[in-house]
Structure 1
Amino acid sequence: MTTIGFVGLGVMGSPMAANLVAAGHAVTGYDVSAERLDRLADAGGKAAGDVAGAVAGADVVITMLPDSPQVEEVAAEILRHAGPGLLYLDMSTISPSTSRRVAEQAAARGVRALDAPVSGGERGAVDGTLSIMVGGAGGDFEAALPVLRALGTTIVHVGPPGAGQTVKAANQLVVGGIYGLVAEAIVLLEGSGVDPVAGLDVLAGGLAGSRVLDLKRHSMIRREFAPGFRIDLHHKDMGIAVAAAREAGVALPLTGQVAQLVAAARAQGHGSLDHSALLKVIERLNG
């Protein structure tokens, strides 16, 4: 059993913390929402009154937060209260440069830090089947594996600090692009008088098959866009991908187009909907 502090009990963090409890770990969580803290307590965890309370006595601390500013703020609080040797896993999706900066600050305090963003959405968080891409020292990755195995099924050490976030940026640009193309496929099929259910069922069984088609084709056809993963968050992630490309000095033209589609969805008031709501943007383009 590992003693784990968990900060950030939202759509992803809440089921992840519950899975850690179910795996036999002692989990103390903190969130600004009292309702989310109650949910952790109902799952068998403990609620802390602040970040310091979640860190106290922990062998491992996990953060699952919305963006870089929140991670930097909470990481600073964690490091203020951390003892030497603490293993800190940030599983948020943030900029690679932020992860590298946090890792440097952690090392100065004797804390082992990993960036370990995830893919798989809410369903993967609930089922414990997330893909986890980890940046940091190899020995720290090995130390984190017993905890990570309670959360995911594909867990890969991808490089030094920040590398996990770079891989996550690549993941998000691919996912966004696939959603955009699936949306266009639906509009093409319907505009041509072809049954989109039959059409996408065929696509899902061929080379065009993907997890997006497997999980979302029917809900997209029914225009059901309850999140899931919100457009607002994917907009943030596409910004990370574009910024990472600029930092690396590479051109990603399709990524730029997808980023603009996601930005259009947000501008049209769809920020709280699932990212499959890119279909609404393509429909609007077509009148």
Structure 2
Amino acid sequence: MTRIGFIGLGIMGAPMASHLAKAGHEVIGHTHSPAAYARLRGDGGSSADSVADAVRDAEVVITMLPNHPQVEEVVLRADGVFAHAPAGALLIDFSTIRPESSIALAEAGAAAGFRVLDAPVSGGQGGAEEGVLSIMVGGEEDDFTTATPIFEVLGKTFIHVGPHGAGQVVKAANQLVVGGTYALVAEAIVLMESLGVDAGKGLDVLAGGLAGSTILDRKRASMVAREFTPGFRIDLHHKDMGIVADAARQADLALPSAALTASLIAAGRAQGLGTLDHSALLKVVENLNGIGGK
């Protein structure tokens, strides 16, 4: 059993913390939404009124937050993780942030006597609820080995992909593929329906062939039904595509499909769809074509 301070109990963090508590770890959670504490307590965890109280005796600290400013505030501020966690504790940041932010966080941690892993995840709310996330990890190999029992509870796939920041680079690539796939599925639905074909049956066929994907497996029915309850919001995917663009610029690369995908996601925000699930790219494609969704 490991003592874990878990910061951030949102759509993804809440089920992750609960899985760890149910697996027998001592989990102390802290979040801006106290309503999330009920689930964690019900699953055997406990809550803390501050970051300091959540991490004071932790062997492992986990952060699952929206973006780098929140991670940096929670970890680096005077009443944050590095100020109150025991020296030698391992920080696992499951957030999706800029690679350079993860590198800077690891450097600050090393200077303060902490070990740090960047470990962004893929799989959305469904993957978090089912404990089958894909976890891409950057940092030291020994720290990855130490964290493996935690990854085993939360994920189906977890791979050490390189040094600090490498996990975030792989996550950027993941978000590019996911966003592009949603855009193509959206266009496929619009194409089929516009020509009088049942898109649900059509996607069933596609899912069984070379075009099959986890997105088709998990989202085709809800997309055809125009159900866009957020598992991962367009607003957050917009943030992630900014990370992709910055990484491409840093590498001096032209990624035209990435630019188009980012534009479609930005259009979703401009159309007021930012709080919907990223599968709502279907509404973006419909709006571009002057088609009213069902």
TM-score range for the pair, normalised by the shorter chain length: over 0.9
Answering whether residue 135 of structure 2 is matched by residue 132 of structure 1, we say yes
Conserved? CA contact 1:38–1:47, under 8 Å: no
For residue 216 of structure 2, what is the aligned residue in structure 1?
213
Answering whether residue 219 of structure 2 is matched by residue 187 of structure 1, we say no
For residue 261 of structure 2, what is the aligned residue in structure 1?
258
Shift of 1:84: 2.0
Shift of 1:147: 1.2
Gaps of 5+ in 2: none
* Paired residue secondary structure (2:274): coil
TM-score, length-normalised on structure 1?
0.99
Shift of 1:199: 1.0
Aligned partners of 2:222 and 2:62: how far apart in 1? 32
* Paired residue secondary structure (2:156): strand
* Paired residue secondary structure (1:150): helix
Aligned partners of 2:205 and 2:263: how far apart in 1? 29
Instruction: Determine which of 112, 118, 122 is the counterpart of 2:121.
Output: 118
Considering only aligned residues, what root-mean-square deviation do their CA atoms show, in Å?
0.7
Instruction: Determine which of 163, 169, 173 is the counterpart of 1:170.
Output: 173
The alignment covers a number of residue pairs equal to: 287
Shift of 1:9: 0.2
The 5 Å alignment of 1:7-22 reads: 7-22=7-22
For residue 73 of structure 2, what is the aligned residue in structure 1?
73
Conserved? CA contact 1:93–1:165, under 8 Å: yes
For residue 238 of structure 1, what is the aligned residue in structure 2?
241
Aligned partners of 1:96 and 1:140: how far apart in 2? 18
Instruction: Determine which of 196, 200, 203 is the counterpart of 2:203.
Output: 200
Q: Could you list the per-position Cα deviations for residues 243-287 of structure 1 after superposition, in whole angstroms to 9, with x for gaps in the alignment?
A: 111112211110010001000001101111100000001001111
Conserved? CA contact 1:231–1:270, under 8 Å: yes
For residue 40 of structure 2, what is the aligned residue in structure 1?
40
Instruction: Determine which of 83, 87, 96 is the counterpart of 2:86.
Output: 83
For residue 54 of structure 1, what is the aligned residue in structure 2?
54
Tell which deviates more after alignment, 53-62 or 39-48: 39-48
Percent identical among aligned pairs is 63
Shift of 1:178: 0.2
TM-score, length-normalised on structure 2?
0.96
* Paired residue secondary structure (2:281): helix
Conserved? CA contact 2:137–2:161, under 8 Å: yes
Conserved? CA contact 1:6–1:63, under 8 Å: yes
Shift of 1:38: 2.6
| Poorly superposed stretches of 4+, deviation over 2 Å | none
Shift of 1:71: 0.5
